[in-house]
Amino acid sequence: MPSAQVAVIGETTADAKSPSQRSEKQYVIQMRDGDTLEVQMSVDGAQIISSLSPRITVTFHKVSKVIDVPAKMIDPTSKERFIQRTLLDQVSGQIHPGQVVALMGPSGCGKTTLLNTLAGRALSGVTGDIWFNNQRYDKAMKRKLAYVLQQDLFFEMLTVKQQLTYTALLRLPNNLSKQDKLAQVEQIIDQLRIRKCANTPILLISGGEKKRVNIGTELLTNPSVIFLDEPTSGLDSTSAVALVEVLRELATQGKTIITSIHQPSSQIFQSFDQLILLADGKTIYMGKPSNALAYFATMGHHSPAQYNPADYVMDLVNQDMNIREELKQAYLQNRIVSNGKAISSQSQQQPSSVAQQYLFPEPSGNEADLTNPDNVNLIPTKKEGKWPLSFLPQMLILCSRSFRLTGMSQLTLLNAIQALGLAVVSGLCWLRMDFSEDTLSDRSSYIFFLMTFWPLQTLMGGLLSFPFERAVIEKERASGSFRLSAYFIAKSLAEGPLKLILPTCFLIISYWMANINPNFGIFLAILVFQLVAILVAESLGLLLGAALKNLQHAITAATVILLSLMLVGGFFVKHLPHWLGVWGKWLSFFKYSYDACLQLQFKGDRVYSCVDGSIIASCRNNANGTFYSKDVLQYFDIGIDIGWNFLVLIGMFIVFRILAYMALRFIKNHTGRA
Ligand SMILES: Nc1ncnc2c1ncn2[C@@H]1O[C@H](COP(=O)(O)OP(=O)(O)OP(=O)(O)O)[C@@H](O)[C@H]1O
């Protein structure tokens, strides 16, 4: 498919050098196959978008990272608790706007750690200096930096366009109109050449397209610096070349691009402006990719002719430890430090050896090394605020996304068949029970079934919700998209009603088929209890899912807790041992909904007929007698009345939700990796 045409109206910013020149920008109308798009960027919008991306030079000086690793992970026989491990050792460098820089090295050499550190993520144990222009990293710069993770994490049921639209609505600033945000989505779709799959669910698109959507999601905010962690992994060579071309295009717009990469083709390798080669957390080469072979040749390591230089470099560093040590030592001896002026290959100290001429100088750590090409303050003022949007709009957008996602996952044909099929089957099992003594236990078992089946089902749904969603949310939060509280409230508000639709349909069918209590008010009250029990169970599921990050642990904990709560809930065992019954049954949310619904079912003066007196004492020797439904409650061991049951359930719902939120907020990724 031909890529979109671009019609330029007025001046563009592609070659603008300063903010004042940039603000003269008119606007660019994207055109597709000869038609103008429906959504066009306004002049004001284009200016706002352009102002989001000042040119930034990234300078890092003697950056190290040391972590405490549990000693047993390294040596099972160790008596120590922790062993210190150096992941980065005094790495320095400077990357300018317009450059695409490759980070290479063997697996585990520290590429991701360096990217994370430069991007301001997982900073514990980090020492050294990092500057963006002439300012040190500050959380408030987050929105100027984009990080494209190695994994493509999305809500995969959304289409490409929906994914980009939600991100644009959430992350672009408040002063940009909705129309301009949508226009920005259109521009990114064209820029990354994903128009063809724009309306396809992400689930169905190819790996290369997914990677471009991943990059596009980060580009929406027009960031100044883009970090990419192995963007070409899993791509075929054509897609990899196309992707690197996109990076090059972005660099020509003045962005600073730093990407880790595993085994680039020769063409890709040569296209980088700078290569930083790491081994065991140390730099072993920093210079032009085209000079790398010449540099290693000065140490006697000659590449065979016709060999991909990237492959040779990787083979060299992957060889035995001794060669790696030799290369580390050689770099320490050869490295040159900037003479305090802006660093470029021309401004280095005079190389004193042949090897040195191939290296870029390291920054000296002096302020004189630092630049600020657009003379901008990268830390937003208080007025600009910490978040792109205030709480309410964040919540409404997240609500709409949750509603869409839950609708797609819950209201499926399969779920509808399951709910309606089971409603009919249970209606048939308890079909048209008459009001007599011998249906009493069937009536209570219907209520128990009602109060366990749906809560169990939703609890498991809640449990699985965070393990899958958390990674996406953590990624979005790491780029400062929204408050966790806005997400959590939105999720609760949007998902609740949708999750209650099928249980409501189930009750409508089975309740009347079973002939539970013909009073419509009672039906509504039982429905309310069923729905509240479902919400309590879902909250418990969310809590377990948020607190226990290992899914297997969470499922095991849920099974044990649920079965225990069911056993002490009053249906299976009426006479619990005193020590267990005293507190155990009061913890069971099954008990509250079951007790309340039993009371509702037998409420009033409905006349029941006696059978053999095995349950109701007044029926003994009075087979033709009758009794009132309220007499039945003496037989069941009812704890507290309906109102209190309701309040306890609401209390449990609130407590579980708050705990789930706290678990999500405070239980961090225990691997310690960003
Ligand atoms: N939290 C952590 N605990 C223990 N070890 C860690 C932790 N984070 C990173 N490491 C170790 O630090 C080293 C560098 O990891 P990093 O992910 O940066 O390597 P990498 O070069 O990106 O590797 P790859 O190319 O395989 O992705 C690895 O040996 C890794 O096992």
| Residues 6 or more apart in contact with residue 452 via CB below 8 angstroms | 566, 590
Q: Whose CA is nearest to atom 29 of ligand 1?
A: 108
Can you name the residues that pair with 228 across neighbouring β-strands?
A: 148, 259
pLDDT for 307 equals: 87
pLDDT for 3 equals: 40
Cβ of residue 111 lying under 6 Å from some atom of ligand 1: yes
Is the separation of the CB atoms in 254 and 55 below 8 Å? Answer: yes
Cβ of residue 212 lying under 6 Å from some atom of ligand 1: no
pLDDT for 235 equals: 82
Q: Whose CA is nearest to atom 16 of ligand 1?
A: 110
Residue 114 Cα to ligand 1 midpoint, Å, equals 10
Residue 107 Cα to ligand 1 midpoint, Å, equals 8
pLDDT for 654 equals: 96
This model of the complex carries an ipTM of 0.95
pLDDT for 502 equals: 94
Residue 110 Cα to ligand 1 midpoint, Å, equals 6
Q: Where are the domains of the chain?
A: 8-42, 58-343+350-360, 391-666
Atom of ligand 1 nearest to the CA of 87: 12
Residue 673 Cα to ligand 1 midpoint, Å, equals 8
Cα gap 332→356, rounded to integer Å: 11
Cβ of residue 87 lying under 6 Å from some atom of ligand 1: yes
Atom of ligand 1 nearest to the CA of 281: 14
What homologous superfamily is domain 58-343+350-360 in, according to CATH? P-loop containing nucleotide triphosphate hydrolases (3.40.50.300)
Residue 280 Cα to ligand 1 midpoint, Å, equals 10
Cβ of residue 261 lying under 6 Å from some atom of ligand 1: no
Judged by DSSP in three states, 331 sits in: helix
Q: Whose CA is nearest to atom 1 of ligand 1?
A: 672
Residue 91 Cα to ligand 1 midpoint, Å, equals 16
pLDDT for 347 equals: 46
Cβ of residue 396 lying under 6 Å from some atom of ligand 1: no
Is the separation of the CB atoms in 633 and 606 below 8 Å? Answer: no
3-state helix, strand, coil in the chain (%, to 5): 50, 15, 35
Cα gap 514→519, rounded to integer Å: 13
Is the separation of the CB atoms in 598 and 633 below 8 Å? Answer: yes
* Assigned token pair, 455: 């809560």
Q: Whose CA is nearest to atom 17 of ligand 1?
A: 112
Cα gap 158→156, rounded to integer Å: 5
Cα gap 533→545, rounded to integer Å: 18
Segments in the chain below pLDDT 50:
1-37, 342-348, 670-674
Cβ of residue 259 lying under 6 Å from some atom of ligand 1: no
Atom of ligand 1 nearest to the CA of 671: 1
| Residues 6 or more apart in contact with residue 381 via CB below 8 angstroms | none
pLDDT for 560 equals: 92
Q: What is the CA radius of gyration of the chain?
A: 32
Atom of ligand 1 nearest to the CA of 110: 18
Cβ of residue 112 lying under 6 Å from some atom of ligand 1: yes
